[in-house]
Amino acid sequence: MTRNILVTGAASGIGAEICRKLASEQTNFLVHTRSNKQGLDKTVRYIEDLGGRAEQKLADLSIKGEGRRLVKEAVQHFDGLDIIIANAGYANKASITDITDAEFEEAHNSITRSFLELTTAAIPFLKKSNNGRIIGISAFGPHVWRTQVMPFAATAVAKGAMEVVAKALALKLAPNSITVNIVAPGFIKKDPTAHLAIEPKALADVCSQIPMGRVGEAHEVASVVRFCASDESSYLTGQVIHVNGGLV
């Protein structure tokens, strides 16, 4: 059975790896990025090389209504939608006392509001699916607060709000057998060409706080997402699943 999948932030890193894990001859993708067209083209080629179908869309999810428009476009392309994977996001290093109003609002618009738009717009179509899945990609930020680990306060607050939205959706949609889960990565190795939120030395220093003593790989996160998107995860909902090498 063909699955129709929408993945945001799919041009690099975890988002691109999620697409690689899920791609097959029985998948249709709408893949999204804000501006990394070159990276998105690579994701599309990978999906198509495996026999899948891929459409792409550039959009700034901080703009009101863009999340709903992405869902509408996916449904127009594929006449249905089975899986929403909200991966688009970023990290703001500013201290909580230095965050501007504009930075705070952008974080919530890009992360929390876009998640709410994507998911609520998709509900009528997920209800028609035999495998309705909503998966949000959060971060360690809402859960790890100690002086040795940088907090990314503004975006951590937005990710925490997204997790609450996901739990509310899980409760609401459980009678329809639509599962809603969050995967929360720890420190994950970036693509060489991607923007680095953490300098290499700072990343090496923080490894001492990770029980496994290393940063994670994108495929390790994507493997958990693949399970959450599968039929085997049908009784898993309302959860935040941490992929962080033991960082607590």
Q: The domain that contains 130 carries what CATH number?
A: 3.40.50.720
Whether residue 197 is predicted with pLDDT greater than 80 in this model: the reply is no
Q: What is the pLDDT of residues 110-141, one digit of tens each?
A: 999 999 999 999 999 999 999 999 999 999 99
Total count of domains within the chain: 1
61 within some domain: yes
Dihedral of CA atoms 99, 7, 137, 150 in degrees, nearest 10, equals -40
The whole-number pLDDT of residue 48 equals 98
247 φ, ψ to 5°? Answer: -65, 120
List the one residue out of 87, 67, 78 whose CA is nearest residue 17.
87
248 within some domain: no
Q: How confident is the model at residue 198 (pLDDT cuts 50, 70, 90)?
A: confident
Q: How confident is the model at residue 193 (pLDDT cuts 50, 70, 90)?
A: low
**Residue 58 contacts by C-beta under 8 Å, 6 or more apart in sequence?**
32, 33, 34, 35, 37, 40
The whole-number pLDDT of residue 194 equals 61
In whole angstroms, what is the distance from residue 151 CA to residue 114 CA?
22
Q: How confident is the model at residue 155 (pLDDT cuts 50, 70, 90)?
A: very high
Length of the chain, in residues: 248
**Residue 118 contacts by C-beta under 8 Å, 6 or more apart in sequence?**
6, 8, 67, 68, 70, 71, 84, 86
224 within some domain: yes
Whether residue 136 contacts residue 166, with contact meaning beta carbons closer than 8 Å, is answered with: yes
The residue range of the domain holding 41 is 3-243
140 within some domain: yes
The whole-number pLDDT of residue 174 equals 98
Whether residue 195 is predicted with pLDDT greater than 70 in this model: the reply is no
210 within some domain: yes
**Averaged pLDDT of the chain:** 94
Whether residue 38 is predicted with pLDDT greater than 70 in this model: the reply is yes
Q: What is the pLDDT of residues 182-192, one digit of tens each?
A: 999 999 998 76
Mean pLDDT of 21-34: 98
Mean pLDDT of 147-158: 90
234 within some domain: yes
21 within some domain: yes
Predicted structure pTM score: 0.95
Share of the chain above pLDDT 70, in %: 98
In whole angstroms, what is the distance from residue 87 CA to residue 185 CA?
11
Whether residue 196 is predicted with pLDDT greater than 70 in this model: the reply is no
114 within some domain: yes
In whole angstroms, what is the distance from residue 204 CA to residue 211 CA?
13
